[in-house]
Chain A
Amino acid sequence: MGRTLAEKVWDAHIVRQAEGEPDLIYIDLHLVHEVTSPQAFEGLRLAGRQVRRPDLTIATEDHNTPTVDIDKPIADLTSRTQIDTLRKNCEEFGVRLHPLGDVDQGIVHVVGPQLGLTQPGLTVVCGDSHTSTHGAFGALAFGIGTSEVEHVLATQSLSARPFKTMAVNVEGTLKPGTTAKDIILAVIAQIGTGGGQGYVLEYRGEAIRELSMEARMTICNMSIEAGARAGMIAPDETTFDYIHGRPHAPAGKEWDAAVEYWRTLRSDDDAVFDAEVTIDAESLEPFVTWGTNPGQGLPLSGAVPDPEAISDETSRAAAERALEYMDLAPGTRLRDIAVDTVFIGSCTNGRIEDLRAAAEVVRGRRKADGVRVLVVPGSFKVRMQAESEGLDAVFTEFGAEWRHAGCSMCLGMNPDQLAPGERSASTSNRNFEGRQGKGGRTHLVSPLVAAATGVRGTLSSPADLEPSEPVA
């Protein structure tokens, strides 16, 4: 019987297998950031252990970093301490670090691919659940906890059980105005926040093949919101073209050898998945969430659901609770929901194509009165690229704030937060209670919907915009 992509990558990394025990698998690339690593390094120190492979490890500062005044000391003392701790740990253990202000600093999941470190067939881990992002390259990439971070630092391996496999077939072609974000929000709404639990999701089908690498990353990034630790897409010419020439891409004969191997990384025709779901891309509309988990989403043309109409008791209770938190009444048209803040950024949608897409929508327009628009590039390099294309001017003329790179308002560990009761349209990945600030309310959207919402002040898609709306 043939093997799936995930099984091929897993099998190629088995260090040890024993009856009744998890496999010991080798880790090719370990990404580190300041939040989930301090206690891991401390553990090494206490046990007198070293980092086994600093040459397979790389760290960036992203979660706590401010997006303004980055040349000044970080005002929040606990944030500064955490950043300082990472710097000391990286120095002590010989780990490469891209600190705030460095040209390669940025969100860890933007930086890895940008440097060409993320490649097909690798095992990639990070103390961060959005490590699933890197699966877009055909890598097996997943988030781990701090104890596992320590384990990987010490042994470059991980004790784990093989995942089950689920094929997510996305058939047909996306209509204009719909994006990778709408695909993944629709997938999560279909299978639920626990639907992918225990699985690697392999995204397949015509719509996936047609996506750019950055769009594929958006999809794999949110696999975890369906409960799956990893999402994967088989590498193809799009993948190879993206990697070619990047700083850490193989070169010369090594490139040829790598590509020859990478071409084998696809699920065999006779491979059997443990589960399979199908989504019709053709029928997708822009998707937005109305509740407090990423599975509570609907097409933008819909209305806030009535919990009374939900038959499953647990789902009904969750919906009731979500509507209370979100301060929404059943039946409200999603397009009538007004927001205070638009956030464009994060490891889900903070790459250059996301910024280009949003900029095209807002070019020559002014934001709605009273709406704050934050644009936060995913990395320093993304910011530089955007500026070289003049996108920063497009955003600032629109009335948006053009910020420095980091996780920012995706989780509000830095000062970029919603105030209690404030509502956002956000291109990030989680609409959990308080995620973007205590009492804040989040609607997850694509960059196109975020930008159009900034124009109108209510949840909107570019198709809702009048061509004649005020031009600066």
Chain B
Amino acid sequence: MEKFSRHTGVGVPLRYSNVDTDQIIPAVYLKRVTRTGFEDALFAAWRGDDSFVLNQPAFSSGSVLVAGPDFGTGSSREHAVWALKDYGFKVVLSSRFADIFRGNSGKQGLLTGELAQDDIELIWKVLENAPGTEVTVDLEHRQVRCAEVVAPMQVDDYTRWRLMEGLDDIGLTMRHVDMISDFEAARPSHKPRTLS
């Protein structure tokens, strides 16, 4: 995984709450068996609408999505993260993320930064008044800067460390494989098995 410490890019205001993963990528796009190539599927239903924010030239090259509360609710599909990344997003900012989406993002190096809703509103205003304005997301200092707005960003310590080091989860767990074996040896025999 690529290391992440700081990113600056065009901010995209998405003034919706409860953007569920069916909106981020509809189920019809989940049939692929590859891990890349989902950029066209991102927000597919909304992309047909000319007024949708990503259809506005000033925002089309955006890499920092600034969304309403409860972003990423619903289905566990990691395709939602892949679609955001494939499109070019490096960061999503919101006042509240759904748990599974946030977990999936961390595994894929997409930063989900939690901001106070008031700060989100301030950034929305900047981005809407001056489309194309860049947002700097400083993971090291847990801070978001956009024009005059400077906002603290919440990211938990472990996710921050993993993103900054670019560490792979399976590799980390494999360091403790002996402990997994020990645990397995002590499991009760009444637990079910799928194979006889």
CB distance B20 to A432 under 8 Å? yes
Query: With A and B bound together, what is the CA distance between A29 and B195 in angstroms?
Result: 12
Distance to closest chain A CB from B188 (angstroms) = 7
Count: A-B pairs, CB below 8 Å: 205
Query: With A and B bound together, what is the CA distance between A127 and B192 in angstroms?
Result: 20
Contact partners of B188 in chain A: CB under 8 A: 257-258, 261
Query: With A and B bound together, what is the CA distance between A12 and B22 in angstroms?
Result: 35
CB distance B77 to A36 under 8 Å? yes
CB distance A438 to B73 under 8 Å? no
Residues in B lying within 8 Å of A, measured CB to CB:
15-18, 20, 22-23, 26-28, 30-35, 45, 68-70, 73-79, 81, 96, 98-100, 103-104, 107-108, 117, 157-158, 169-170, 172-174, 176-177, 179-180, 183-184, 187-195
CB distance B98 to A128 under 8 Å? no
Contact partners of A15 in chain B: CB under 8 A: 176, 179-180, 183
Stretch among A52-60, A207-215, A365-373 lining the B interface = A52-60
Contact partners of B22 in chain A: CB under 8 A: 411, 430, 432-435
The answer to the question of A154 belonging to the interface, with a C-beta cut-off of 8 Å to chain B, is yes
* Chain A, 243-280, CB within 8 A of any chain B CB: 248-250, 254-255, 257-258, 261
Contact partners of A321 in chain B: CB under 8 A: 16
Given contacts A156-B184, A198-B99, A293-B18, 18 further A-B contacts (CB under 8 A): A15-B176, A20-B158, A24-B173, A24-B180, A29-B192, A39-B34, A57-B194, A82-B32, A127-B76, A128-B75, A145-B104, A146-B79, A147-B169, A194-B69, A225-B74, A315-B17, A412-B28, A438-B26
The answer to the question of A21 belonging to the interface, with a C-beta cut-off of 8 Å to chain B, is yes
Q: A151-B169, A159-B173, A432-B74 are in contact. Are A143 and B180 (CB under 8 A)?
A: no
Query: With A and B bound together, what is the CA distance between A298 and B26 in angstroms?
Result: 26
CB distance B74 to A430 under 8 Å? yes
- Per-residue B-contact encoding for A9-37, CB less than 8 Å = 1, 0 else: 00000011000111010101100000110
Residues in A lying within 8 Å of B, measured CB to CB:
15-16, 20-22, 24, 26, 28-29, 35-36, 38-39, 42, 47, 49, 52-58, 63-64, 76, 78-79, 81-82, 85, 96, 116-117, 119, 122, 127-129, 143-148, 150-151, 154-157, 159, 193-194, 197-198, 224-225, 227, 229, 248-250, 254-255, 257-258, 261, 293, 314-315, 317-318, 321, 411-413, 430, 432-435, 438
Contact partners of B68 in chain A: CB under 8 A: 314
Q: List 21 A-B contacts (CB under 8 A).
A: A15-B176, A16-B176, A28-B192, A49-B170, A55-B193, A58-B194, A85-B33, A122-B192, A144-B100, A147-B169, A148-B107, A154-B170, A155-B177, A159-B173, A194-B73, A224-B74, A314-B69, A432-B20, A434-B45, A438-B26, A438-B45
Distance to closest chain A CB from B24 (angstroms) = 11
CB distance A26 to B194 under 8 Å? no
CB distance B173 to A155 under 8 Å? yes
Contact partners of B194 in chain A: CB under 8 A: 29, 54-58, 96, 117, 248
Q: A78-B31, A143-B100, A145-B107 are in contact. Are A157 and B180 (CB under 8 A)?
A: yes
CB distance A413 to B30 under 8 Å? yes
Contact partners of B169 in chain A: CB under 8 A: 147, 151, 159
CB distance B23 to A432 under 8 Å? yes
Contact partners of A22 in chain B: CB under 8 A: 158
Distance to closest chain B CB from A395 (angstroms) = 26
Distance to closest chain B CB from A198 (angstroms) = 6
CB distance A21 to B158 under 8 Å? yes
CB distance B100 to A129 under 8 Å? yes
Q: B34 — nearest CB in chain A belongs to which residue? A: A39
Cross-chain contact of A193 among B70, B78, B170 (Cβ < 8 A): B70
CB distance A129 to B74 under 8 Å? yes
Q: A36-B78, A143-B76 are in contact. Are A28 and B31 (CB under 8 A)?
A: no
Q: B77 — nearest CB in chain A belongs to which residue? A: A36
Query: With A and B bound together, what is the CA distance between A144 and B70 in angstroms?
Result: 18
Query: With A and B bound together, what is the CA distance between A255 and B33 in angstroms?
Result: 41
Contact partners of B16 in chain A: CB under 8 A: 317-318, 321
Contact partners of B28 in chain A: CB under 8 A: 412-413, 438
CB distance A197 to B176 under 8 Å? no
CB distance B191 to A156 under 8 Å? no
Distance to closest chain B CB from A156 (angstroms) = 7
Cross-chain contact of A227 among B33, B70, B176 (Cβ < 8 A): B70
Of all A-B residue pairs in the complex, the 9 with the closest CB atoms, nearest first, are A145-B104, A147-B107, A145-B78, A38-B33, A143-B76, A78-B31, A146-B78, A258-B190, A129-B76
Contact partners of B117 in chain A: CB under 8 A: 314
Distance to closest chain B CB from A139 (angstroms) = 11
Q: A246 — nearest CB in chain B belongs to which residue? A: B192
Contact partners of B183 in chain A: CB under 8 A: 15, 26
Greatest chain A CB density within 10 A among B31, B34, B183 is at: B31
Distance to closest chain B CB from A186 (angstroms) = 19
Query: With A and B bound together, what is the CA distance between A294 and B75 in angstroms?
Result: 13
Distance to closest chain A CB from B167 (angstroms) = 11
Cross-chain contact of B33 among A20, A81, A117, A258 (Cβ < 8 A): A81
Q: A144-B100, A147-B104, A151-B169 are in contact. Are A24 and B73 (CB under 8 A)?
A: no
Contact partners of A143 in chain B: CB under 8 A: 76, 100
Query: With A and B bound together, what is the CA distance between A139 and B37 in angstroms?
Result: 37
Q: A155-B173, A198-B99, A314-B69 are in contact. Are A79 and B180 (CB under 8 A)?
A: no
Q: A148-B103, A430-B22, A432-B74 are in contact. Are A55 and B195 (CB under 8 A)?
A: yes
Query: With A and B bound together, what is the CA distance between A249 and B193 in angstroms?
Result: 10
Query: With A and B bound together, what is the CA distance between A47 and B195 in angstroms?
Result: 25
Distance to closest chain A CB from B97 (angstroms) = 8
Contact partners of A225 in chain B: CB under 8 A: 74
Cross-chain contact of A293 among B20, B107, B190 (Cβ < 8 A): B20
CB distance A26 to B180 under 8 Å? yes
Q: B1 — nearest CB in chain A belongs to which residue? A: A147
Contact partners of A20 in chain B: CB under 8 A: 157-158
